[in-house]
């Protein structure tokens, strides 16, 4: 079965694909159409379904598989599907693993790296808090994405993003020895733990009611309060500093942080978070772009298009 990453212009195919997103539209003449994002384990691709019928909209449901008949077009330097027909897919006849994007690092690799990073935290208070917070999230920490669409939006993306940030923190602490290594590593591992309640799961992720009304920053901050009280550590400076790191890691009020960074470690965490998210967004976009062409406009990067040099 041909994978999305191997699609080429002018391909005409009939394949089962997972519906990642689906939005209704209306043409200038009043005809309905669908804009969809379809997925398999190799990536995602945008598609347009013109002349859509009511029975088609019943078949195309977010989080479900369907069999699509389509042709592959080149639009603004990127491949896009023009869908001609759709029919239901018997999910018992296919393996869902073929349609789930996952981290490039195995869960076993990520768990080993997580253990190494936790062991590197020598401050006993931070060490206890990190272990207790990760126990609260359970297996979700290893399987959940870091976002629903923009960056690390795949199975295992949350832990991949958090571990990548912690690794960057190690390097930066070597260059700037005035930084508190244990605080930075702890915050990198914990800053997004609230996403395990903010989102619904690792496949076709949607935001939960709790996530929409509270957000992952507030959720993680509340969990931290619960954990330190249970550990008998409430009121210590380490707790206060970790609260600040979680609350300020988006760096701006308009991005959802209720306070701005006021620790040098908080400033570093915010910068690293932004860097790692942007690099993952660019990696995904450039991998889907032919050498010598530009990516589509990237919402997370000010709607800029990025060029993939020839030979890259």
Per-residue pLDDT reduced to its tens digit, 85-132: 999 998 777 887 788 888 889 999 999 999 999 999 999 999 999 999
Contact yes or no for 162/103 (Cβ under 8 A)? no
204 falls in which pLDDT band (50, 70, 90)?
A: low
Q: Report the alpha-carbon distance of residue 85 to residue 298 in Å, rounded.
A: 29
Q: Report the alpha-carbon distance of residue 92 to residue 207 in Å, rounded.
A: 27
pLDDT of residue 285: 87
pLDDT of 149 over the 80 cut: no
pLDDT of 168 over the 80 cut: yes
pLDDT of residue 101: 81
266 falls in which pLDDT band (50, 70, 90)?
A: very high
pLDDT of 142 over the 80 cut: yes
One DSSP character per residue, 198-219 reads: HB--SSS--B-HHHHHTHHHHH
Q: Report the alpha-carbon distance of residue 96 to residue 266 in Å, rounded.
A: 40
Per-residue pLDDT reduced to its tens digit, 267-310: 999 999 999 999 999 998 898 788 998 988 898 899 999 999 99
pTM of the model: 0.84
Domains and CATH numbers, the chain: 4-99 (2.40.50.140), 107-284 (1.10.3210)
Residue 186 CB burial class (10 angstroms; 0-12, 13-18, ≥19): buried
The number of angstroms, rounded, from the C-alpha of 45 to the middle of its chain's C-alpha atoms is 16
**Distances from the Cα of 278 to the Cα of 19, 48, 82, 298, 299, angstroms:** 25, 27, 29, 10, 11
Pairing of strands 78-88, 43-49: parallel
3-state DSSP call for residue 257? coil
């Amino acid at each position: 079965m041909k994978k999305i990453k191997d699609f080429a212009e002018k391909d005409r195919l009939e394949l089962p694909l997972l519906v990642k997103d689906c939005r209704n539209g209306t043409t200038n003449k009043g005809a309905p159409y669908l804009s969809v994002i379809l997925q398999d384990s190799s990536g995602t691709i945008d598609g347009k379904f013109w002349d859509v019928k009511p029975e088609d909209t019943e078949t195309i449901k977010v989080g479900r598989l369907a069999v699509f008949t389509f042709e592959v077009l080149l639009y603004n330097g990127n491949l896009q599907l023009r869908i001609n027909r759709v029919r239901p897919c018997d999910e018992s006849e296919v393996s869902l693993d073929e349609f789930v994007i996952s981290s490039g690092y195995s869960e076993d690799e990520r768990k080993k790296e997580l253990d190494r990073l936790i062991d590197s935290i020598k401050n006993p208070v931070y060490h206890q808090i990190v272990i207790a917070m990760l126990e609260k999230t359970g297996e979700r920490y290893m399987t959940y994405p870091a976002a629903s669409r923009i960056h690390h939006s795949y199975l295992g993306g949350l832990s991949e993003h958090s571990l990548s940030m912690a690794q960057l923190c190690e390097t930066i602490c070597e260059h700037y020895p005035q930084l508190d290594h244990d605080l930075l590593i702890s915050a990198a591992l914990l800053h997004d733990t609230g996403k395990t309640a903010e989102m619904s799961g690792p496949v076709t992720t949607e935001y939960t009611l709790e996530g929409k009304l509270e957000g992952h920053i507030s959720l993680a901050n509340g969990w931290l309060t619960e954990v330190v009280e249970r550990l008998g550590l409430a009121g210590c400076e380490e707790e206060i500093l970790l609260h600040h790191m979680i609350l300020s890691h988006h760096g701006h009020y308009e991005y959802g942080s209720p306070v701005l960074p006021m620790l040098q470690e908080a400033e570093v965490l915010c910068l690293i978070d932004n860097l790692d998210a942007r690099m993952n967004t660019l990696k995904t976009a450039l991998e889907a772009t032919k050498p010598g062409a530009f990516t589509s406009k990237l919402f997370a990067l000010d709607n800029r298009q990025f060029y993939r040099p020839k030979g890259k």
